[in-house]
Structure 1
Amino acid sequence: MWVTSRRQAGPSGAAFLLAQLGAHAAERFAQRVKELGLTPPDVGLLRMIASQPGRSQRSIATDLGVVPSRVVALVDNLERKELVERRPSATDRRHHALHLTTAGEQVLMRMRSIATAHEDDLCAALSTDERSQLASLLQRIADQQGLVPHVHPGYRNLSTPR
């Protein structure tokens, strides 16, 4: 029986490996958050709201690089799940200030442990120092490519949630 090594079987450049691992990590993460009744975009939006309570939907849309209607649909979904609430803005009556509910804060705490377990599983082959080095190298690449910190590019491809 003839067996090829992994390196001979197909592409092995850094860009291919990043794409392969990125797709794998995204799929695994989606499976993990599904048990909470959430999608990765839901989790990302919860994190954004938690990091700056009171932000408007428009400011979030700007950071994500999407039209405001996409954020409105995501917020509608999270509001139905009672994880987010819209409050009148103290500074502009045309805007709503977004805040996590108590249930939203609890879900976010559970998400942090899920995210830690997810990273631990994905990086199990690396030492603590290697993980730190990998994160530093990936951040340099992300910075050089002009990627917005903490914003997944998948937001631009979202369909409207139901």
Structure 2
Amino acid sequence: MQATDPTDHSVPSGAAFLLTQVGAHAARRFAERVADLGVAPSDVGILRMILMSPGRSQQSLAEELGVVPSRVVTLLDGLQDKGLVERRRNPADRRNYALYLTEEGTRMMSAVRDLGATHEDDLLAALDPSERARLATMLQAVAAQQGLTPGVHPGYRRP
């Protein structure tokens, strides 16, 4: 690996630029990969959140994502149309829906988990396991310092 000359301003080499460059590349590649499964990255994020907390309400999902409830309704409508999510009336409060993955949604998340492992291996092939662990730890520290919600992509907050 060749060291960059800090006085050479012809090639951006700052950490913030590199995070953006690699992040945009990783997001594009992940979107391409999950598109083969018939879903978008935003779908995967919602499915993962429901998988981690089955029976959660649409309202709690909206709060965790930091979006208005109507945005969540739109996302869930698409997932329900694909047969990946089901809404059940909450027996404790029939005004609310409890969210669950369908059998197909569970199969989808299994496929996404395998795809995600391949994606990470491809993306981080230049790093050994200890470097990958250190990178993850450092990025978690940056995300925490920036006030980002763990496990929630900030892209949901776009209109």
Q: TM-score range by the shorter chain?
A: over 0.9
Q: Which residue of 2 aligns with 1:116?
A: 117
Per-residue deviation at 1:105? 0.2
Q: Which residue of 2 aligns with 1:20?
A: 21
Per-residue deviation at 1:91? 1.6
Instruction: Figure out how many residues of one structure are paired with residues of the other and give that number.
Output: 154
TM-score computed with the length of structure 1 as normaliser: 0.92
Helix, strand or coil at the partner of 2:77: helix
Per-residue deviation at 1:6? 7.3
Q: What amino acid is aligned across from residue 86 of structure 2 in structure 1?
A: E
Per-residue deviation at 1:64? 0.4
Q: What amino acid is aligned across from residue 98 of structure 2 in structure 1?
A: A
Distance 2:20 2:128 in 1: 22
Distance 2:62 2:144 in 1: 21
Q: Which residue of 2 aligns with 1:66?
A: 67
Helix, strand or coil at the partner of 2:83: coil
TM-score computed with the length of structure 2 as normaliser: 0.94
Q: Which runs of 5+ in 2 are unaligned?
A: none
Per-residue deviation at 1:74? 0.6
Distance 1:29 1:90 in 2: 37
Q: Which residue of 2 aligns with 1:46?
A: 47
Distance 1:65 1:107 in 2: 25
Distance 1:140 1:90 in 2: 40
Deviation by residue 1:107-149 (Cα, 9 ceiling, x = unmatched): 0000000000000000000000000000000001111111000
Q: Which residue of 2 aligns with 1:29?
A: 30
Per-residue deviation at 1:102? 0.3
Q: Which residue of 2 aligns with 1:141?
A: 142
Per-residue deviation at 1:10? 2.0
Per-residue deviation at 1:93? 1.2
Q: Which runs of 5+ in 1 are unaligned?
A: none
Matched, 1:83 2:78: no
State the superposition RMSD in angstroms.
1.3
